[in-house]
Amino acid sequence: MASGLPLRSLLLATLLLGGCQSLVREGTADVAGIGGAALATAVTDNGAVATGIGLGVRSLANAGLQYTERRLQRQQQDKIAAIAGPLPIGQVAAWNASYAVPLHADEKGQVTVVREIGGAGLQCREIVFSVDTVVERKPQRAFYTAAICRNGQTWKWASAEPATERWGALQ
Amino acid sequence: MTRRAARRAALLAVLLPLAGCNAVGGIVGGVSGALTGAATTNPAVGYAVGISVKAVTDATIQYVMRNIQRGEQDSIVRVAGTLAPGDVAPWKAEHSLPFGYGDAEGTVQVVRVIDTPLAQCREVAIGVGKGEDAATIIATACAQEQGWKWANAEPAVERWGALQ
């Protein structure tokens, strides 16, 4: 039973982590986890310990993938914010983001500024941007709204997370 | 079914309503893994089967949950797209799932018209929930080729926190 507790906490951690992840993500973590479990069986014949090691490796792989996804999404947010920051209100400019990693498709669209949101010592803007894609050889446009704020010389994405009551299937 | 399997099935039945939909994948995966592990005695095989079952169950549940949420968003902004600013109208989302699961209704009004050269958007105030759970939510919607769609972009990555 000595291995029971860490195994259980690992299981719990995986349950919490695993709540809302895509199949791609599960796939990456699974391969690592299965590899980890297989390796572990070579050094221990205790099934619970092997599964625990597998789950641990899986969590690490998962965290690595999430880190990459966050980095790519931040790149895109920074790109759009940098273009919308100096843009005069009412004008439309193009943005595009290309990635060296095949994990995220290159995306492009247009962005415009709706209004300034000012306060004591802060400079923010509300923006509307499009994401232009081609579905079945027909161009498609989706529109989104967001907020950006100026931090020193750089404009950064400023939309806050939804209220926890509205997370629903997000997590 | 062995007595052990029966006990696991009973445990699953108890855990399901407690854990909520999003944890089902993990629980189903864990039980499948445990059952497979018992059948093959190889923990790596048990682990692989358990985790694969979990991945498929998770992805399916997420797909269903996303569809429910998208249905609700579409129902709300479809009404909001037809409203004049200041008018209040009811919205209703029905998913024809058992026990009316995911069905919801409330009110919606347009609080601001966001007129840009790029797109026609609106800021809307949405009344959701009833009684103690009643709340007002502010969101944005934009007109797309196929109709009005929810338009709130994702939060800043720095604010993703436990969301991912």
Give the 3-state secondary structure of A52-87: HHHHHHHHHHHHHHHHHHHHHHHHHHHHHHHHHCCC
Average pLDDT, chain B: 82
Instruction: Tell me the backbone φ, ψ of residue A95, rounded to 5 degrees.
Output: -130, 150
CA-nearest residue to A12 within chain B is B26
Beta strands in chain A (DSSP E): 92-97, 107-119, 122-135, 138-151, 154-157
How do residues A4-44 score in pLDDT, each as one tens digit?
A: 444 444 444 444 444 333 456 666 777 777 777 777 766 67
Burial of residue A1, with CB atoms counted within 10 A of its CB: 0-12 exposed, 13-18 middle, 19 or more buried:
exposed
> Where are the domains positioned within chain A?
7-71, 83-167
pLDDT of residue B24: 65
How do residues A134-157 score in pLDDT, each as one tens digit?
A: 888 888 999 999 999 999 899 999
pLDDT greater than 80 at residue B136: yes
Cβ-based contacts under 8 A for chains A and B:
171
Q: Which two tokens stand for residue A135?
A: 């579905």
Pairwise CB contact (< 8 Å): A128 & B135: no
> Which range among B28-32, B34-38, B83-87, B111-115 shows the weakest confidence by mean pLDDT?
B34-38
CA–CA min distance B6, chain A (Å): 21
Provide mean pLDDT across the span B128-143.
88
Greater confidence (B2 vs A4) lies with B2
pLDDT of residue B14: 43
**Which of A18, A163, A166 lies at the smallest CB-CB distance from B54?**
A18
pLDDT of residue A145: 96
Percent of all residues in chain B with a pLDDT value above 70, rounded to a whole number: 80
Residues of chain B in contact with residue A66, where contact means CB-CB under 8 angstroms, are 164
ipTM: 0.72
How many angstroms separate the CA atoms of A72 and A74, rounded? 5
pLDDT greater than 80 at residue A68: yes
Provide mean pLDDT across the span B1-9.
54
- DSSP characters over B35-59: HHHHHH--HHHHHHHHHHHHHHHHH
**pTM for this prediction:** 0.73
pLDDT greater than 80 at residue B29: no
pLDDT of residue A6: 45
Pairwise CB contact (< 8 Å): B58 & A21: yes
pLDDT of residue B143: 96
Q: pLDDT band for position B97 (50/70/90)?
A: confident
pLDDT of residue B34: 72
Closest CA to B125 of B136, B133, B113: B136
How do residues A151-171 score in pLDDT, each as one tens digit?
A: 989 999 999 988 887 877 777
pLDDT greater than 80 at residue B38: no
Pairwise CB contact (< 8 Å): A171 & B22: yes
Greater confidence (B38 vs A165) lies with A165
pLDDT of residue B131: 82
Residues of chain A in contact with residue B113, where contact means CB-CB under 8 angstroms, are none
